[in-house]
Structure 1
Amino acid sequence: MTDTAAQPAFDRRLIPPMLLGSILNPVNSTIIAVALVPIGVALGAPPAETAWLVSALYLATALGQPVVGRLIDLFGPRRLFLIGTSLVGVAGIVGALAPGIGVLVAARVLLGFGTCAGYPAAMALLRSEAQRTGRDSPGTVLTALAVANQTIAVIGPLLGGLLIGVGGWRSVFLVNVPLAAAAFLLGVLRLPTQPHHAVESRARLDLPGMGLFAVMLVALLLFLMNLRLSSWYLVVITVAAGAAFALRELRTRDPFIDLQVLGGNLPLVTTYLRALVSFTVTYAFLYGFTQWTEQGFGLTPFEAGLVQIPMFVVGMAVSAITGRRRGVRGTLLLGAVGQIAGCGLMLLLTGTSPVWMLLLLAVVFGIPQGATTLALQNAVYHQADPERMGSSAGLLRTFGYLGSMVAAAMTAASFGQEATTPGMHHLARLMLGAGVLFLLLTVADRSLRRQPAAVTA
């Protein structure tokens, strides 16, 4: 007891920049959901074109997260955090002044790269604080990080609806300026100039590995966004780049992604696969269902945002409760069952359904929203190599964004030119299949039964 009391405590001054930096990505991921229709009307762009506003951010973020995470592992979080938040502010201005859909897409790409640093930096700081203090970081901090991200993800559509009602669709880009300024200031004042775990030798960056990874991922995501036989060459590029990437990483002394370690860590690989299928369901609901509530059900952007409030409330409650439980297996099972139940309820909705059914659906989806994000994050925290926590956390986000790209492809294939009720039902059936796969991956993973308990104090 005395020895524990004598140990240094977690530096809670780090929490505000950690939280604000980590939410820059989810706020931009979800705030755009209710702006797609207004942007399309204002710029004369059909859903097939406005979908690029979603895909562009995820393409940039899926590529940038592990790269920036690796840079954080090598050089510490402060510099990358400040560069990233600066890019977010610039992207907000570019988007607010954009004359057409092309510039808007470019702004979303810039936002994607700019928001890459927040989450890996937060996870790296948690791990470095654990090493500095000699004990695990408080579980309440991990819970706060997960709750902040899922909260902003859920209230993003409501915030977007409010901003559009006050200042038009351009305000969903302009809001990034004050958010980025606040995050940058907090980073300057509170982030350590050097990581607590000093890197003995700053190894040479694996630029060829990063380049091959970029080619592989971009080709794969472009194929997912354009699932046609004419896009077969993208599959060839993906496979070729993937093979070259694997060969490079297995032979170099300091790989960008240590495939030997990753390949020997089956629990972590399975966690990444769960993230992919879980986020497929989450983002298909977020974007597909939201578009249907506006076009197929007739709600305004603000009303579509209001429908999401029950998911926010339930998600908060579920995170607070499950964050105190031992292990993650039960939480993941709860999330899987919640996703399956929500998809089943979506199949019952029509354009004439009562509003309370929409609210009930939001309540049901609040369960996996609150359960899976925290459980996946805790799993990575315990399963990953501490020296590669930044890149491991970045890869978790990358697999999540792969799921979002699959969701975007599913949504585009289901809706076509308009978000109709039959299209929404088709999307729900695809989501149901992903939900069942998530459940099977969780039930079959015996390593979850040995998952360490989260520290709660």
Structure 2
Amino acid sequence: MVLGSVLNPVNSSMLAVALVPIGHAFGAPPSQTAWLVSGLYLATAVGQPVIGRLVDAFGPRRLYLLGTALAGLAGLLGALAPNLWVLVASRVVLGFGTSAAFPASMSLLRSESERTGRGNPGGVLAALSVSNQVVAVVGPALGGLLIGAGGWQLIFGVNVPLSLMCLVLGALRLPRATPAGGAAPIDVPGMLWFAGSLTAFMFFLMRPAVASWYLPVLGLAAGAVFVRRELGTARPFMDLRVLGGNIPLLATYLRQCLAYTTSYAFFYGYSQWLQEGRGLSASQAGLLLVPLSATAIGVTVLTGRRGRIRGRLVAGALLQCLGCAALLPLHDDSPLWLLVVLSAVVGLPHGLIGLANQNALYAQADPARMGSSAGLLRTFMYVGALFATAANAVFFRDGATSSGLHAMAWPLIGVAAVFLVLCTVLPPRDDVDGLG
């Protein structure tokens, strides 16, 4: 479960230090290489809840194996891509392939908890959080090392051995159990309307402009049909009545979106600034993000078995505000020690917030729909990532300069402040059932 959950977050962040060398290799401007980021986010945001629902219906094992096999094929296609648009296509396939492991893992944990009567496995959830949330911050460092060792193709090719290991371990170790009562009917029209609505909105977020006004209109129209469909069918893809009455879970989704808007804007913006503004190589930029990885993993391991999550969220929100404000004094000649300290500080909220939201979801979601609920958590994460991508495009229109970094810091401080208010005004319950 842990190895499978690595595939999605590490691929979403490993590209942060590869955009510049890939652009040079294909002679593509940043406006085109941005599709490498957006393509994965779009496929993952749509694929996570859809595949999560298939996990609920058919059981986690077969979806896990199918998804990881698809991820390996996508990695091979990317490593051999002859042009940028084949590379983009490989990222889309990769997004769908890596969408299975996290919903499958959360579904397995919930079913095993109910089977054994041992309550919520706080330690296992912490390990899963390290793999599917915190390992995302290892991506830039790993990407830089791989590019230095053999070029940008290695960040795609590394998926092949990882997927093979997932297939072997999954075939040997994952239980074959299917959901009670057998496979449930699948609301395919509901899935399609959901995918159409979300895709229209996300295409608009990729390139927000007045000329693209029709995209949110199409998204609203498809969304209205989706809502009517889900409210009128006996076995909906997404039970909107139950979801609408679960205010704590909706608040968790909103927190996830806000937190990762800030996190991903920092990852991609800071990484590009280190290369273009500060003048470092891709490998050096990746190494400067190692302290971020270390502190994120460390705080997750230290606090993972504790069930209380409210304090984690408030502390994480305060640290996000501090990290974004620390971007303001950076300049082209900022000393390396300052950049190392900043990376270390920003890793703390990433570890705290990712684990807290995951634990909240585990306690708040309907057990029978744990796969699709976990998928939606990832969807909101990648909606935040698309907001971040749009912010990078706006503020780095003329390159990743120090002035662009400063301009981006102010709205990020605002988003982090809204996240802080949400954590204090509408916090999750601290008495999460059995965690720890």
Alpha-carbon offset, residue 449 of structure 1: 3.7
Normalised TM-score (structure 1)? 0.94
Q: Give me the whole-angstrom Cα distance separating, in 1, the residues matched to 2:70 and 2:89.
A: 12
Retained in 2: the 8 A contact 1:32–1:54? Answer: yes
Q: Give me the whole-angstrom Cα distance separating, in 2, the residues matched to 1:38 and 1:69.
A: 35
Retained in 1: the 8 A contact 2:296–2:349? Answer: yes
Q: Give me the whole-angstrom Cα distance separating, in 2, the residues matched to 1:450 and 1:295.
A: 44
Alpha-carbon offset, residue 121 of structure 1: 0.5
Q: Secondary structure at the match of 2:213?
A: helix
Alpha-carbon offset, residue 303 of structure 1: 0.6
1:455 aligns with 2:430: no
Measured against aligned partners, the alpha-carbon deviations of 1:218-248 in whole angstroms (never above 9, x if no partner) come to: 0000000111000000010011111111111
Segments ≥4 residues shifted beyond 4 Å = none
Q: Give me the whole-angstrom Cα distance separating, in 1, the residues matched to 2:132 and 2:198.
A: 24
Structure 2 residue identity aligned to 1:100: N
1:190-209 matched pairs, under 5 angstroms: 190-195=173-178, 198-209=179-190
Give the one of 314, 319, 335 matched to 1:333. 314
Measured against aligned partners, the alpha-carbon deviations of 1:266-301 in whole angstroms (never above 9, x if no partner) come to: 000000000000000110011111001000111111
Alpha-carbon offset, residue 362 of structure 1: 0.6
Retained in 2: the 8 A contact 1:150–1:315? Answer: no
Give the one of 45, 59, 65 matched to 1:76. 59
Measured against aligned partners, the alpha-carbon deviations of 1:77-131 in whole angstroms (never above 9, x if no partner) come to: 1111111011111101110111111000000000000000010011000001011
Aligned equivalent of 1:278: 259
Q: Give me the whole-angstrom Cα distance separating, in 2, the residues matched to 1:417 and 1:453.
A: 50
Q: Give me the whole-angstrom Cα distance separating, in 2, the residues matched to 1:69 and 1:29.
A: 19
C-alpha root-mean-square deviation of aligned residues, in Å?
1.1
Alpha-carbon offset, residue 398 of structure 1: 0.2
1:391 aligns with 2:379: no
1:287 aligns with 2:280: no
Q: Give me the whole-angstrom Cα distance separating, in 2, the residues matched to 1:454 and 1:435.
A: 30
Aligned equivalent of 2:290: 309
Q: Give me the whole-angstrom Cα distance separating, in 2, the residues matched to 1:163 and 1:450.
A: 41
Q: Give me the whole-angstrom Cα distance separating, in 2, the residues matched to 1:367 and 1:150.
A: 12
Aligned pair count reads: 436
Structure 2 residue identity aligned to 1:170: Q
Q: Give me the whole-angstrom Cα distance separating, in 1, the residues matched to 2:24 and 2:30.
A: 10
Retained in 2: the 8 A contact 1:379–1:451? Answer: no
Unpaired segments ≥5 residues, structure 1: 1-17
Aligned equivalent of 1:101: 84
1:143-292 matched pairs, under 5 angstroms: 143-195=126-178, 198-292=179-273
Q: Give me the whole-angstrom Cα distance separating, in 1, the residues matched to 2:58 and 2:415.
A: 38
Aligned equivalent of 1:3: none
Cα distance, 1:134–1:325 mapped onto 2, change above 3 Å? closer
Higher deviation after alignment, 227-236 or 158-167 = 158-167
Question: Percent of pairs identical after alignment?
Answer: 55
Q: Give me the whole-angstrom Cα distance separating, in 1, the residues matched to 2:315 and 2:426.
A: 15
1:51 aligns with 2:34: yes
Structure 2 residue identity aligned to 1:225: M
Retained in 2: the 8 A contact 1:48–1:417? Answer: no
Aligned equivalent of 1:12: none
1:119 aligns with 2:102: yes
Normalised TM-score (structure 2)? 0.98
Q: Secondary structure at the match of 2:234?
A: coil
Alpha-carbon offset, residue 321 of structure 1: 2.5
1:27 aligns with 2:10: yes
Structure 2 residue identity aligned to 1:144: A
Q: Secondary structure at the match of 1:32?
A: helix
